Amino acid sequence: MNFPERLPIPDDVLRIARRLEEAGYETWCVGGAIRDNLLGLENHDFDLTTAAPPGEVRRLFKRTVPVGVEHGTVAVLDREQRAHEVTTFRRDIKTDGRHAVVEFGVSLMDDLARRDFTINAIAYHPGRHEWRDPFRGAADLEGKLIRSVGDPNWRFQEDYLRILRALRFSARFQFRIHPHTLEAAKANVQGLAQLSAERVRDEWFKGITTAARVSKLLTLWLDVGAARIWLPEIRERGAGSGPLRVLDKLPRDPVLITAFLASDPASLLTRLKCSNKDIERGRAIGQWRDKHPDPKHLPEVRRWLSAVGEYADDLLALLTAGSAPRSPLPKIVDSIRAARDPLTVKDLAVTGDDLLAAGVRPGPEVGETLQRLLAEVLEDPKRNTRDGLLSRV
């Protein structure tokens, strides 16, 4: 792969780089934006690496945020309040597989040598338009290869999350993983158990949204052994050819896809420390995913919509992507929604106060009566009139 003469560096990034260089600190563009631009993918989120210590970066710029200052990273805010990460040249001097202690004041070469994969260890000087590619990352981009920088065992033992990053990049770019790198990933996969649930969740979710085919991502997680450690409910449910084919038809919604794959979605989403809202969403999908109504029976469809509530669209997505892609149910649901048929107690033409005024005793009986009225209205929406419902009371 031949390097282009210039890269389209945003003006704000150029201004930051010039300021650092004018202060006497060597500064280069690095990271995913370099890789993506070489692949012809649009990415203007350029990160900078510099010889300037974090304190000096904060002194040179008025508006900064110490997003990871202990690791040398300072976010510099531009005039539009957009953050641009500036990281001091560094190398790891101690690591436990989750967190690293770094040393500053090293060279660009030292900094590139600590990066995870060769395709992410390419640097570009925005002022002189020079390239540095000591680990032949451009050749690996051309060869569609994910390969660790240096010894893959050591790279993964520095930070076990890199195993999951290798799988994500492979699925996203449809690159193969170098045999030595893949072997090291499998040999060190147990180290994933040391990672925080939040880091694993973010990597899994990011993989789902960026993969060319989600089925490829899942296959990699299963083959390497990462699913056994963090996603055991997926292995229990099975990932045969049927589920894999459905995966690639579903919306790129990480919670929906995770819930579809898991035997116990709520358990898996809880392990990944998802929000309570996402956990409840997964629980509902797990409960209802195999229970769709007969689209020919409108009252049954309305009762189903009332029961599943806000999760109806998730369940319809699973239905149309799976075993019943031509089911008329989605159109029936659309017609019910268009007609504004009452589906919840709030949609009834009477309220709890109306029932109290009609003589219903305060307490549980009010709610029970509303539910009975809702059942009648779900059977026939025309019954939803104030006078008609009160007469039923």
Segments of 96-175 assigned E as strands: 100-104, 123-124, 131-132, 145-146
CA distance 165 to 168: 5
Average pLDDT over every residue of 93-120 = 78
Structure tokens at 375: 């059942």
Contacts of 261 (CB under 8 A, 6+ apart): 218, 231, 233, 234, 237, 239, 243, 247
Reference 87, options 5, 12, 20; nearest CA is: 20
- DSSP class of residue 342 equals -
CATH fold for the domain made of 1-143: Beta Polymerase; domain 2 (3.30.460)
78 confidence band (pLDDT: 50, 70, 90): confident
| Element housing 29 (H / E) | strand 27-30
DSSP string covering 212-255, please? S-HHHHHHHHHHHTHHHHH-HHHHHH---HHHHHHHTTS-S-HH
CA distance 30 to 9: 11
- DSSP class of residue 361 equals P
Domain locations in the chain as residue ranges:
1-143, 144-268, 342-393
Global pTM? 0.89
List pLDDT tens digits, range 326-356.
Answer: 899 999 999 999 999 999 999 999 999 989 9
List pLDDT tens digits, range 173-218.
Answer: 999 999 999 999 999 999 999 999 999 999 999 999 999 999 999 9
- Return the SS3 of 148: strand
Q: Which CATH architecture has domain 144-268?
A: Orthogonal Bundle (1.10)
Q: What share of the chain has pLDDT > 70, as a percent?
A: 94
List pLDDT tens digits, range 273-298.
Answer: 999 999 999 999 999 998 999 999 99
- Return the SS3 of 200: helix
